[in-house]
């Protein structure tokens, strides 16, 4: 069937070419198409902006640098006395404050007693004071930490425990000195007999 149609069109081609549409017909077709385009016209999409990873990283780095510089200026502009250097221990825990004062005074009197008893033996005092200096440096670190610690009560307990240990060590050192004195006195008694 298609073969017959093709043959028919080939044989009658001249007759098909004779008939052409009117010129106004093309104008009507064009105007109708334009009207349909206006009706069917889709809303325009907003243009989406995209940023490259490099751009985003540069912006982030700039923000971090600006924040860092601002923080440094903020810290430098703070008056010197705004950061607390000492904490009122009684406000944290009044019972701990009493214990801290008690043990601090025991340690202080023990140190002065130790110093007077070891005047005759400076090497022994040097050895004893070196041991106490280590413990005292730990106490000072804890005292500095107390200012900034979120758990001040725990740090205060550690400070009191440190003072207790210092008092015990001083007591042992005083016992050693007493033992040495008794030994020397005993030696002197033996020599005198």
Predicted confidence (pLDDT) per residue in 85-95, tens digit:
577 787 888 88
Q: Are residues 187 and 104 in the same domain?
A: yes
Q: Which tokens sit at 166?
A: 């210092």
Rounded to an integer, what distance in angstroms lies between the CA atom of residue 44 and that of residue 67? Answer: 41
**What single string gives the DSSP state of each residue in 163-187?**
HHHHHHHHHHHHHHHHHHHHHHHHH
Let me know how long the chain is.
193
Q: How many domains does the chain have?
A: 2
Of residues 101 and 35, which shows the higher confidence score? 101
Query: Is residue 72 a part of any domain in this protein?
Result: no
**CB 172, CB 110: distance < 8 Å:** no
Query: Is residue 26 a part of any domain in this protein?
Result: yes
Query: Is residue 133 a part of any domain in this protein?
Result: yes
Q: What is the pLDDT confidence band of residue 64, given thresholds at 50, 70 and 90?
A: very high
The domain containing residue 31 runs over which residues?
2-40
What is this structure's pTM?
A: 0.52
Query: Is residue 84 a part of any domain in this protein?
Result: no
Q: Which tokens sit at 55?
A: 């751009």
Query: Is residue 159 a part of any domain in this protein?
Result: yes
The string of pLDDT tens digits covering residues 129-181 is 888 888 889 988 988 888 888 888 898 889 889 999 998 988 888 888 888 88
Query: Is residue 79 a part of any domain in this protein?
Result: no
Q: Are residues 118 and 27 in the same domain?
A: no
């Amino acid at each position: 069937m298609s073969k017959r149609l093709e043959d028919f069109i080939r044989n009658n081609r001249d007759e098909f070419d004779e008939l052409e549409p009117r010129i106004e017909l093309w104008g009507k077709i064009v105007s109708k198409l334009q009207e349909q385009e206006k009706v069917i016209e889709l809303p325009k999409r907003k243009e989406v902006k995209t940023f490259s990873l490099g751009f985003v990283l540069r912006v982030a780095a700039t923000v971090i640098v600006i924040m860092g510089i601002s923080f440094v200026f903020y810290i430098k502009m703070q008056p010197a006395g705004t950061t607390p250097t000492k904490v009122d221990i009684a406000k944290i825990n009044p019972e701990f404050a009493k214990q801290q004062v008690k043990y601090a005074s025991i340690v202080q009197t023990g140190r002065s007693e130790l110093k007077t008893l070891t005047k005759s033996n400076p090497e022994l005092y040097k050895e004893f004071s070196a041991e106490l200096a280590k413990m005292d440096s730990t106490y000072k670190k804890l005292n500095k930490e107390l200012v900034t610690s979120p758990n001040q009560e725990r740090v205060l307990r550690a400070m009191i425990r440190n003072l207790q240990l210092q008092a015990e060590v001083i007591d042992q050192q005083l016992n050693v000195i007493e033992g040495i004195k008794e030994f020397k006195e005993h030696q002197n008694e033996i020599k005198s007999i």
